[in-house]
Amino acid sequence: MNEWLTDFGMFLAQVLSLVVIGGLVVAVVVKARGEVGERTRLRIEELNTNREYRRRRLTMAASEPGERKRLLKGFRKDDKSRGRRGRKGKAEPRQTVWVLDFHGDLRASATGRLGEEVSALLDAADEGDEVVIRLESAGGLVHAYGLAAAELDRLREAGLRTTVCVDKVAASGGYLMACVADQLRAAPFAVLGSIGVVAQLPNVHRLLKRHDIDVELLTAGRYKRTLTVFGENTEEGREKFREDLEGIHELFKRYVAERRRHLDIEAVATGEVWYGSEALEKGLVDALGTSEAYLAERMKDARVIGLKLEPKRKLGERLGMAVSRGVERAVERGLEVLDASRWQKR
């Protein structure tokens, strides 16, 4: 038995060696040719098809064993009937709902990808189509989220109906983006609002002065630098900084008010946040509900397609990510086993 296990182990080692060598050969060939073509790939997901596939699987699982053959025949009949209608041109035209995702960080670093997705969508969408943006962001840099909101504005300018769904949070810059939509929906406990501007920076001038360290700050222009980290701040500089914040706040308020004309902007532009049901009362959103519920409803009379641009990863990166995921899953599984062992009877 031990000899058989040794032979089997040697066989596995040889197979693994061949796989690794083959991967290295492929990597060398790819690198020698260089990266040619697009650096990203467009991933398309037919959400209607996915949902129908899951429905059929669950129907089969819940049925009696003797009924499964009949169900399979019915599914095949439906598919053939749908195919014949399509070939004969009798299928009724359906509206298309395009789905985009945006997960924002402090710098709104996904804005570049969002802009490319919007450009691709504008090339393919027809008049009357709808675009659903599943948005999640707690805000960040003013200029970064201003650009992200401008990318979504392109959809409205092209005449496409837009719906933003907020399941978790759209605050500050996130709400700046969300208010662009023709319809804004939020989950009951989603966080919305924070129509305000904040800035803070430390000042270590007194610490430096205590240690006899001088900092020279030279500027050309009276307000080139108002507040500093190392120098001594003046009341005039503070006042100018406050004026700048108020100016940005006014731009923020004006942008939101132009896109949600029924909103009492002065009442909500206090920097406060509200949960979904409260946001509905304030007029910050148009309806309550999750993005999944809304898309499921749209699937009844429309074709729902998700699209996403993904970076093309090199072979080494893909192998590294696969190994990393494998190690992560193994560690998680080990922790689960250890945690479960605490509850086992001894």
Give the active site residue among 137, 172, 194, 291.
Answer: 172
172 catalytic? Reply is yes
119 catalytic? Reply is no
Using CA atoms, how far apart are residues 152 and 75, in angstroms rounded to an integer?
40
Give the active site residue among 88, 90, 224, 300.
Answer: 224
Residue 151: strand, helix, or coil? helix
Task: Provide the pairing of β-strand 287-288 with 273-275.
Answer: unpaired
CA 19 vs CA 114, 316, 319: distances in Å: 37, 14, 12
Tokens linked to 316: 């080494």
Nearest to 168 by CA among 202, 134, 200: 134
| Contact by Cβ (8 Å): 40, 114 | no
| Contact by Cβ (8 Å): 186, 192 | yes
CA angle in degrees (0–180, nearest 5) for 15-20-23:
125
Burial class (CB in 10 A: 0-12, 13-18, 19+), 129: buried
Burial class (CB in 10 A: 0-12, 13-18, 19+), 179: buried
What number of other Cβ atoms are within 10 A of residue 173's Cβ? Answer: 25
Residue 276: strand, helix, or coil? helix
The residues assigned a catalytic role are: 172, 224
